Amino acid sequence: MAASTTAPPSTETFWADAERHLVRYGGEFTREIIDRAAGSFLFTADGRKILDFTSGQMSAILGHSHPAIVATVQRQVATLDHLYSGMLSRPVVDLARRLADTLPAPLEKALLLTTGAESNEAAIRMAKLVTGRHEIVSFARSWHGMTQAAASATYSAGRKGYGPAAPGNFAIPVPNVYRPDFTAADGSLDWRRQLDFAFDLIDAQSTGSLAACLVEPILSSGGIIEPPAGYFAALRDKCRERGMLLILDEAQTGLCRTGTWYAFERDGVVPDILTLSKTLGAGLPLAAVVTSAEIEQEAYERGFLFFTTHVADPLVAAVGNTVLDVLTGDRLDERARSLGAFLRQGLSDIAGRHEVVGDIRGRGLLAGLELVVDRETKQSSDELGARVTRRCLQLGLHMNIVQLPGMGGVFRIAPPLTATEDELELGLTILDEAIGDACAVL
C-alpha cells in the first residue's frame, strides 16, 4: 500500500482534538506538539529543539532513540514480542540472571513486569503473603504508583476524593535536612529522634500486623530528598525489630543514575525486596521485583499469584538486556558521577548569582534545586517556580518542578546519563537566564 500523502492536521485542529478526546490525567498538557526525539533533545512539530532535563518521565537514561535500543526493538519485535504469561524465553531468563549479577546477595530472584506501580503492587502483595500481615509504612512525601496498594502507600499527591485507601497504611515523616522538624542543639536535623518518634506512633496505631516498609532511597516526587547517611541502617533495624520486610523502590535511582548501580549501595543496606522500573527499560515499559530465594520460596509455597498480561514479555526483556550492555560497556555509573559533579558545580554557581536558590541536593545525575523567596525564612512561592518553568521551556529547556505544601518549588533535574558536558552547560545557562528573568518581575 502506498504511503499516505494526507497532511497532518493543523496545530489548531490537533489541540482541539486533544481537548475533545483526551482524558486529562494530571495538570495541563505542555503546549508543544512533540514530533520526534533523539539523544538529549526533543523536536517539536514547528521546528523547535528542546533540551530534555527529565529524561522523558525520568526514564530515558540512555537518551532518546539510542541506536542499540532501536536495533534491539527492531530485531526482537520481528522474532518474538509477546507470549502467554506462563511461557518463558531466553531474554527473560538472561535478564533475571544478569540483574542478579549486579546485586548483592541474597537478591537473586526476579519477576519482570511493566511499570513502577505494578512492581510495587507485586512487592507489597508478596510481603503481605510472606509475613501473613497487611500493614505498610511509607514516607509522608512518597510516590509509589497509582494502582491500589501502591497508591495507598503514596502520600505526595492523589489521596483526596477517591474514597478509603487500603487499610493499614501509615506514613512516617521525611528526614529533610533542609527543612528539619526534629532539631539538635545546633539546629540540624535530629533524624534519630525523628525516626524513634515515627515508630512510636506506628506502634501506637498498628494492630500488630506490620508487614513491610516501602521507601525510596532518594525521594523524587517528594522533592529530591536524600535521607542522611545512617538513616536506612536504622530504618532496617526498626523493621527487623517488628518482623517487617524492607522494600526499596529504586524506580528513578536504580541502574547508575546516582553514580552507583543502586542508590542503596551508599548505606550498605540490602533490602528484602527491591523494585526497579523507569530506568530498567530506558524509556520502554519494563519493571522488576527482585528478592531472595528464601522469600520467593515462601511466597511460592503460600500460592503467590501475580499473573498480568505482560509479565515476562520477551520484547522489553531484550531491551533490558541491551540497557545493561550499554550501562556496563560505557561505564555509565562512572559517567554519572563525573557529570553529576559537573552539574552540581553549575547549580552551585547559579545559587551564587540568585538569592532565590535556597538549596541544592541529590546525587549523581539526579539533582534537586529548591527555590525560595527568602533564604533565611525559606518561604516558598508556587508562582516563582511556575514562572521559571515556563521561561525555561520558552528558552528551549524542559524542566519538571515539584510543588508540595510546606516546600518551595523543587526542580527535579535528571538528564540522560549519555548527555555531554556541553548539553549540561546549555541547560545550566538556560536555567540561569530563566531564574534571572523570573526574578526580574517579582
Beta carbons of 333 and 256 less than 8 angstroms apart: yes
pLDDT value of position 402: 86
Beta carbons of 326 and 68 less than 8 angstroms apart: yes
Question: Collapsing DSSP states into helix, strand and coil, what is residue 143?
Answer: coil
* Model pTM score: 0.96
Instruction: Provide the CATH topology of domain 71-327.
Output: Aspartate Aminotransferase; domain 2 (3.40.640)
Query: Which residues are identified as catalytic?
Result: 143, 216, 249, 252, 278, 412
Beta bridge partners of 217: none
**CA dist., res. 153 & res. 136, Å (int):** 7
Beta carbons of 149 and 124 less than 8 angstroms apart: yes
User: What is the dotted CATH code of the domain comprising 29-58+331-440?
Assistant: 3.90.1150.10
pLDDT value of position 9: 87
Q: Read off φ and ψ for residue 26, nearest 5 degrees.
A: 160, 85
pLDDT value of position 245: 99
Strand order in the sheet with 34-38: 34-38, 41-44, 49-52, 397-398
The position carrying cell 519477576 is 111
Cell triple for 262 = 543502586
Residue 405 burial class via C-beta count within 10 angstroms: exposed 0-12, middle 13-18, buried 19 and up = exposed
Q: Classify strands 210-215 and 245-249 as parallel, antiparallel or unpaired.
A: parallel
Sorted by sequence, the CB contacts under 8 Å of residue 57 that are 6+ apart come out as 278
**CA dist., res. 244 & res. 127, Å (int):** 9
For the chain, the domains span 29-58+331-440, 71-327
**CA dist., res. 98 & res. 326, Å (int):** 13
Beta carbons of 144 and 138 less than 8 angstroms apart: yes
**CA dist., res. 407 & res. 176, Å (int):** 11
Sorted by sequence, the CB contacts under 8 Å of residue 265 that are 6+ apart come out as none
pLDDT value of position 5: 59
pLDDT value of position 3: 54
Beta bridge partners of 137: 170, 213
- DSSP code at position 303: T
User: What Rg value do the Cα atoms of the chain yield, rounded?
Assistant: 22
- CA dihedral 368→374→377→380, nearest 10 degrees, is -60
Instruction: From first to last of the 442 residues of the chain, give the pLDDT tens digit.
Output: 555 557 888 999 999 999 999 999 988 899 999 999 999 999 999 999 999 999 999 999 999 999 999 999 999 999 999 999 999 999 999 999 999 999 999 999 999 999 999 999 999 999 999 999 999 999 999 999 999 999 999 999 999 999 999 999 999 999 999 999 999 999 999 999 999 999 999 999 999 999 999 999 999 999 999 999 999 999 999 999 999 999 999 999 999 999 999 999 999 999 999 999 999 999 999 999 999 999 999 999 999 999 999 999 999 999 999 999 999 999 999 999 999 999 999 999 999 999 999 999 999 999 999 999 999 999 988 889 999 999 999 999 999 998 776 666 899 999 999 999 999 999 999 999 999 999 998 7
Question: HEC states along 95-130?
Answer: HHHHHHHHCCCCEEEEEEECCHHHHHHHHHHHHHHH
- DSSP code at position 377: T
**CA dist., res. 312 & res. 303, Å (int):** 18
pLDDT value of position 380: 87
pLDDT value of position 375: 94
pLDDT value of position 6: 77
- CA dihedral 285→290→293→295, nearest 10 degrees, is -110
- C-alpha closest to that of 236 among 273, 188, 208: 273
